[in-house]
Amino acid sequence: MKEQEYVLENATSFELKDIFDCGQCFRWNEEPDGSYTGVFKGNVLNVKKVGEDIQFKGICDGDIKEIVEDYFDLSRDYEKIKETLSRIDENMKNSVNYGSGIRILNQDLWETIISFIISANNNIPRIKGIIERLSKKYGTKITWNSQEYYAFPSAKQLENVTVEEYRQLGLGFRDIRLFETTQMILKKEVNLVKLYQEKDTNMVRDELLKLSGVGPKVADCILLFSDLKRFDVFPIDVWVRRVMNDLYLKEADETKVNKKKIENLAKEKFGDLAGIAQQYLFYWRREA
């Protein structure tokens, strides 16, 4: 663990605000100078955009270049993805244009599972607060630039945490779900390592659905936003339901729109790119 730097020159499809505010992650915060600092996979990193260059610096558990290339999904051709999606229709063209700097991060699977269990029927400021308190109380401290950061706690670090302690942290009714899921993972009732080896996305989803607090929406978010990295999913939340109804289905009462109908439409329109399409649409509808 030592301080390192890396510069990605002439970056395309890489806007800090789009990446960190599009709803996929909860631990990146904007600094006064417009850069962002975050904690992930035991690293603390500051990311700054200067012209078309992206400057990374921080303390990393490994080689910074490799860590950045993996986490920021640098090997994927987002320009091509955007081109494909833009050709679908005018709506997609607009949403892709709005969130043109989005990249889907390769986040730690365990952290993503817990984070999205916490996200259920919750709002983003509160989700961030809960995760921060959880990390501060049970995670490993990392000091950088004389500031203290806390890594997301491992399953092992949460092994003996009680439901009551979770409740005190402000988890609300999700306390029991966090407790049960942690125990299931520690006992390998759901084996996270094996999830990476399974090719069929539906098989992986079925495994994730065994976890307490993981329903269809959360499972799809885990599949898309973690380093499982499946793009052939389409997480449907209130915002996506809204935007899909406004653009395509046009039913009077959006809350009564059939989920299966949305799923089928997404599959038909976006195919293997449904996940990333969802993210452009979500970000566009929520922010614009």
Partner DNA sequence: ACCCAGGGTCGTC
Partner DNA sequence: GACGACCCTGGG
- Joined together, the tokens standing for residue 278 give 């969802």
Q: Is residue 101 a contact point for DNA (CB under 7 A)?
A: no
Beta strands in the chain (DSSP E): 2-8, 28-30, 36-40, 43-50, 53-60, 141-144, 147-150
DSSP H or E segment with residue 225: helix 216-225
Write down the H helix ranges in 139-273.
163-168, 175-186, 192-197, 201-209, 216-225, 238-244, 259-270
Instruction: State the nearest-atom distance from the C-beta of 154 to DNA, in Å.
Output: 22
Among 44, 213, 243, 262, binds DNA (CB under 7 A): 213
Q: Is residue 216 a contact point for DNA (CB under 7 A)?
A: yes
Q: Is 53 in contact with 10 (CB distance < 8 Å)?
A: yes
Among 7-15, 30-38, 92-100, 206-214, which window interacts with DNA (CB under 7 A)? 206-214
Among 82, 177, 205, 230, binds DNA (CB under 7 A): 177
Instruction: State the nearest-atom distance from the C-beta of 202 to DNA, in Å.
Output: 16
- Say how many Å lie between the first and final Cα of the chain, rounded: 40
Among 74, 98, 212, 247, binds DNA (CB under 7 A): 212
Q: Is 103 in contact with 77 (CB distance < 8 Å)?
A: no
Among 74-82, 116-124, 138-146, 199-207, which window interacts with DNA (CB under 7 A)? 116-124
User: Which neighbouring-strand residues pair with 111?
Assistant: none
Find the binding residues for DNA in span 3-62 (CB under 7 A): 22-24
d(CA 89, CA 131): 38
- Joined together, the tokens standing for residue 277 give 């399409």
Query: Binding mask 245-284 vs DNA (x if CB under 7 A, - otherwise)?
Result: ---------------------------------xx--x--
Q: Is residue 196 a contact point for DNA (CB under 7 A)?
A: no
Q: Is residue 154 a contact point for DNA (CB under 7 A)?
A: no
Instruction: State the nearest-atom distance from the C-beta of 284 to DNA, in Å.
Output: 12
Q: Is 53 in contact with 154 (CB distance < 8 Å)?
A: no
For DNA, the binding residues (CB under 7 A) are 22-24, 119-127, 167, 170, 172-174, 177, 211-219, 221, 235, 237-240, 278-279, 282, 286
